Structure 1
Amino acid sequence: MFWFGLYMVTLNWGERYTDAGTASLVVGVGPVLAAILAAVVLKEGMPAKLLAGLVVAFGGTAIVGFASHQGESTVGGVALCLLAAAGYAVGMVSQKPVLRHATALQATTFGCAVGAIACLPFAGQLVDDVATAPASATWSVVYLGLLPTALAFYTWAYALSRTPAGVLGATTYVVPVIVIGLSWLLLDEVPAMLALAGGALCLAGIGVTRLRSGKGN
Structure 2
Amino acid sequence: MTRSRATLIGFTAILLWALLALFTVGTAPVPPLQLNAMCFGLGGLIGLGWTAATGQIAAFRALPLPAFLLGTLGLFGYHALYFAALRAAPAAEAGLIAYLWPLLIVLFSGLLPGERLRPAHLLGAILGFSGAALIILGGSGSYDPQNLTGYLLALACALTWSGYSVLSRRFAQVPTAAVTLFCLVTALLSLLLHLALETTVWPQGRTGWGAVLALGLGPVGLAFYTWDIGVKRGDIQLLGVASYAAPLLSTLALVLCGIAPASGKLIMAAALIAGGALLAARASLRAARADRAPQAQPPA
TM-score, normalized by the shorter chain, greater than 0.5? yes
Aligned: 1:10 with 2:81: yes
5+ residue gaps in structure 2? Answer: 1-71, 294-300
Q: CA deviation at 1:10?
A: 1.8
Once the two structures are superposed, what CA deviation does each residue of 1:184-209 show, in whole Å capped at 9, x if it has no partner? 43439662234333333444334422
Aligned: 1:88 with 2:157: no
1:12-161 to structure 2, matched below 5 A, reads 12-20=83-91, 22-24=93-95, 26-41=97-112, 43-63=114-134, 66=138, 72-73=145-146, 76-98=149-171, 100-103=172-175, 105-122=176-193, 124=195, 128-130=200-202, 133-161=204-232
Aligned: 1:196 with 2:267: yes
In 2, distance between residues paired with 1:64 and 1:171? Answer: 23
> Counterpart in 1 of 2:246?
175
* Residues 159/50 of structure 1: CA separation in 2 closer, same or farther (3 Å cut): farther
Identity of aligned residues (%): 20
Once the two structures are superposed, what CA deviation does each residue of 1:65-121 show, in whole Å capped at 9, x if it has no partner? 647x996535544443333233212221232222x2134x32432321231232131
In 1, distance between residues paired with 2:251 and 2:88? Answer: 22
In 1, distance between residues paired with 2:97 and 2:210? Answer: 29
What is the root-mean-square deviation in Å for CA atoms of aligned residues? Answer: 3.8
Q: CA deviation at 1:144?
A: 0.7
* Residues 194/96 of structure 1: CA separation in 2 closer, same or farther (3 Å cut): same
* Residues 64/79 of structure 1: CA separation in 2 closer, same or farther (3 Å cut): closer
CA contact (8 A) 1:13 1:80 kept: yes
Q: Which has the higher contact order (CA 8 A, sep 6+)?
A: 2
TM-score by length of 2: 0.55
In 1, distance between residues paired with 2:211 and 2:266? Answer: 27
Equivalenced residues, count: 211
**Structure 1: which amino acid aligns with 2:174?**
A
In 2, distance between residues paired with 1:91 and 1:178? Answer: 23
* Residues 56/157 of structure 1: CA separation in 2 closer, same or farther (3 Å cut): farther
Which structure has the greater CA radius of gyration? Answer: 2
5+ residue gaps in structure 1? Answer: none
CA contact (8 A) 1:22 1:73 kept: no
TM-score by length of 1: 0.72
